[in-house]
Amino acid sequence: MADPTSSVKVVEVCKVALPPPPSPRSFASPSSFPLTFFDIRWLRFAPVQCLYLCEMPTSSATQLFFDTVLAPQLKTLLFNTLQHYLPLARHLTWPQNSQKPVLSYITVFPNCGLSIGTSMHHTILYGKTSTLFAKSWAHICKHGDQSNSLLLDHLKQFYDTRVIQDPAELRAKSNLLEPRKAPPGSIRGTFQITTADIETPRQLLKAKLAEQKQQDIRLVHVSTFTLASLFGDNGLVVAVNANSEAIRSLEKGVLDGAENWVSRVFAVSSEKMLMLAGSHRFGIYDTDFGWGRPRRTEVVSIDKTGAISLSDSKNGGGGVEIGLVLKKQYMDAFAALFAQGLL
């Protein structure tokens, strides 16, 4: 681990943004994107910050190569990528003195590689879209400028918020989620689960259901990440019942009770509430800037939000990486229980 007291030399701070159109009709895309009630509640929340740690050939991991080739290329191709992700090139006009919604930091590790860090606000885009933005930037970097107009269909986004109907005027009633913070003195830990590890709780769940003969459960999808300790010995069965009840509630419409979503979150004590950042389905390790898969990725903002991060495994094979921030004594206890549970 690097010396925490060592300083980082800032080589350049630049602003990459789209130029203003010559006329209001120059761009086919809209110049403004109204926020929906799904977006407004995140206004006070901390931005999601991610790191992509990439290993490079020694000949390419020099300061000279970065200054003369890599940095100009990354800036130019970031400009090209923003044309496909227009909300990231805009300003939040409410409140008036709002911050930029996206920032990028690139740190060079001589003769080793580099780290690309992004900071994106949840009001502008959600986890899936932020991952697709990074993948789009990486795709254009890997394949060159000519790929700008040939961005893969699954990387393109749809931004017409008018398709989200709001007959109950939920946008005017939206409460704001308040940011949470990890306790002082916390440390970060990353834990990996293999496909074989994931299969164990699934088989346990099937056995529990068979024992209790839960014939009335419509088993549509079972989350792999269930904390049975919250419910005792029958935690998995309780979780399945809760999932089934949630699925049945969709019969009333996906927005049923939406005006109370945030207040219900506030009603839950912090000791019983878990927040997740990311997903193992996003495929964050498939983000290839041209140097192969990242050696490691981190959602560094979980130390500000207290969330648990999820991603696919750097080793592939259907595994999962879990990141969390706890006080040292709790992290030690969690690590011991985690290892014991996988034996």
Sequence-distant (6+) residues with CB within 8 A of 191 are 321, 322, 323, 324, 335, 338
pLDDT tens profile 181-206: 777 888 999 999 888 887 777 777 67
CA neighbor of 197 nearest in space, from 58, 80, 309, 340: 340
pLDDT at 82: 82
Beta bridge partners of 117: 51, 105
| pLDDT given at position 240 | 67
List pLDDT tens digits, range 244-270. Answer: 777 777 777 767 777 677 677 666 656
Q: What is the pLDDT of residue 266?
A: 65
Best CA proximity match to 328, nearest among 181, 179, 180, 183: 183
Separation between Cα atoms, residue 322 and residue 224, nearest integer Å: 12
> How many distinct helices (H) and strands (E) make up the chain?
10, 8
Which residues, listed in sequence order, are joined to residue 309 by a DSSP beta bridge? 277, 323
pLDDT per position as a tens digit, 111-156: 788 899 988 887 777 888 889 999 999 998 888 765 555 677 778 7
- Output the pLDDT for position 227: 41
- Spell out the domain ranges in the chain: 37-173
HEC string of 151-188? Answer: CCHHHCCCCCHHHCCCCCCHHHHCCCCCCCCCCCCEEE
Task: Name all contacts of 100-109 with Cβ < 8 Å and 24+ positions apart.
Answer: 101/47, 103/47, 104/16, 104/78, 106/71, 106/74, 107/8, 108/11, 108/61, 108/63, 108/66, 109/61
Domain 37-173 homologous superfamily, CATH: Chloramphenicol acetyltransferase-like domain (3.30.559.10)
Q: What is the pLDDT of residue 96?
A: 44
Residues 189 and 60 sit within 8 Å (Cβ to Cβ): no
pLDDT given for residue 333 in this prediction: 93
The pLDDT value recorded for residue 13 is 82
pTM reported for the whole predicted model: 0.72
Phi then psi for 298, rounded to 5 degrees?
-140, 140
Closest CA to 261 of 56, 37, 28: 37
CA–CA gap between residue 115 and residue 111 (Å, rounded): 13
Give me the residues of the chain with pLDDT under 50, please: 1-4, 22, 24-28, 95-101, 215, 217-231
Q: Say if CB 308 and CB 274 are below 8 A apart.
A: yes
Residue 139, both tokens: 């795709």
Rounded Cα–Cα distance for residues 52 and 233 (Å) = 39
Give me the helices (H) in the chain, please: 37-40, 63-65, 71-82, 127-143, 170-173, 195-212, 235-249, 261-267, 302-305, 328-341
